[in-house]
Amino acid sequence: MKLEREAMAHYLDTGFHTKVSEAAEAVFEIIGDDIEEMSVELNSDTEQIKNILGQTKTKDNGYAPSMDAEPFYADPDKKLYPKLRDIAMDRLTGDKCKSLMLEVIVEDTEAENHLAWLREVMVKPQSYGGDTAGFNIPFTVSEDGASQKGYVSAESMKSGKPTFTEGDIPGIGG
């Protein structure tokens, strides 16, 4: 059975904490209620070099992951909105744009815990305005620092307040 797209959930910390060590203080809000398609682009960085012996060597420089969230309609009831507004309108840069992103994969809807990754990210609005559908502030999330693997409980996700715990899922491993 294939997983539905909704099995992959992306959350941003609305308190804009900047270090994975601050996970306990984070207040996560899910991204995607107006979005029909959203993917994390891994942006792999490889170079192929052919030497004088006719051999091809590949140099792997890793990844530069990013994710575009579009549309993001301005909604004063969303905790993420004031921060995105301020970043865009005040032209904030650097650490003022850093936050934490929580990614959760729900592979088994009956499980008590779900695999998750907590990542330090940079959040950058790309524009603001839009059409008659509403005031839109589309943004890009780019990895910018440390990452931790762990899990969140199904109960915390159902409550709308996912809580990240570092390490393997109890009784399962990673």
- Whether the pLDDT of residue 1 is over 90: the answer is no
Please indicate, yes or no, if residue 46 is contained in any of the structural domains: no
For position 171, what pLDDT does the model report? 81
- In sequence order, the β-bridge partners of residue 11 are 30, 102
Please indicate, yes or no, if residue 85 is contained in any of the structural domains: yes
Per the structure, the complete domain to which residue 152 belongs is given by 5-38+65-166
Q: Count up the domains in the chain and report the number.
A: 1
Q: Average pLDDT of 74-102? A: 97
Q: Average pLDDT of 52-64? A: 94
- In sequence order, the β-bridge partners of residue 116 are 104, 150
Please indicate, yes or no, if residue 45 is contained in any of the structural domains: no
- Whether the pLDDT of residue 147 is over 70: the answer is yes
Q: Measured between alpha carbons, how far apart are the two ends of the chain, in Å?
A: 21
H-helix or E-strand spanning residue 46 = strand 44-50
Position 174 confidence tier, pLDDT thresholds 50, 70, 90? low
For position 172, what pLDDT does the model report? 75
Please indicate, yes or no, if residue 150 is contained in any of the structural domains: yes
Q: Average pLDDT of 86-109? A: 97
114-134 pLDDT per residue, tens? 999 999 999 999 999 999 999
What is the C-alpha to C-alpha distance for residues 71 and 88, in angstroms, rounded to an integer? Answer: 15
For position 136, what pLDDT does the model report? 96
Please indicate, yes or no, if residue 28 is contained in any of the structural domains: yes
For position 108, what pLDDT does the model report? 95
Going by C-alpha positions, the residue among 104, 95, 91 that lies closest to residue 165 is 104
Please indicate, yes or no, if residue 60 is contained in any of the structural domains: no
Please indicate, yes or no, if residue 57 is contained in any of the structural domains: no
Please indicate, yes or no, if residue 99 is contained in any of the structural domains: yes
What is the C-alpha to C-alpha distance for residues 73 and 96, in angstroms, rounded to an integer? Answer: 21
For position 173, what pLDDT does the model report? 56
Going by C-alpha positions, the residue among 143, 41, 157, 57 that lies closest to residue 105 is 157
